[in-house]
Amino acid sequence: MALTSRLPGAYDHHWDWQLRGSCRSGGAAALFFHPAGERGEAHDAREEAAKAVCAGCPVRVECRRYALDAREPYGVWGGLTEDERHRLFSGTLARRSAA
């Protein structure tokens, strides 16, 4: 579950970047979250297709920043998969623990 206490404030200007996302057009939204039970090649192909949409997105940086700040647990955000974000979080936590 995402930690809502980490989310930016509830001002429209914090969220208007979402209106400019490439994922909002052409039915692309279905690529970003896996259906229940999806595994293997189908899962990998869907994630790669989602990341290809992200690669040309004008708000990729804002999207990625949101997903990392909110510790978004599901979907492809800003070109990062769930697993990639989890590895980043784990690495950050491990470095903080060692300090």
Annotated binding site for [4Fe-4S] cluster: 23, 54, 57, 63
Query: Within 13 Å of residue 51, how many CA atoms lie on the same side as its CB?
Result: 11
Phi and psi at residue 34, to the nearest 5°:
-75, 145
- Shortest CA distance to 74 belongs to which of 32, 43, 42? 32
Closest CA to 4 of 88, 91, 69: 69
**Of the candidates 26, 86, 16, which has an alpha carbon nearest to the alpha carbon of residue 58?**
16
Binding-site residue positions: 23, 54, 57, 63
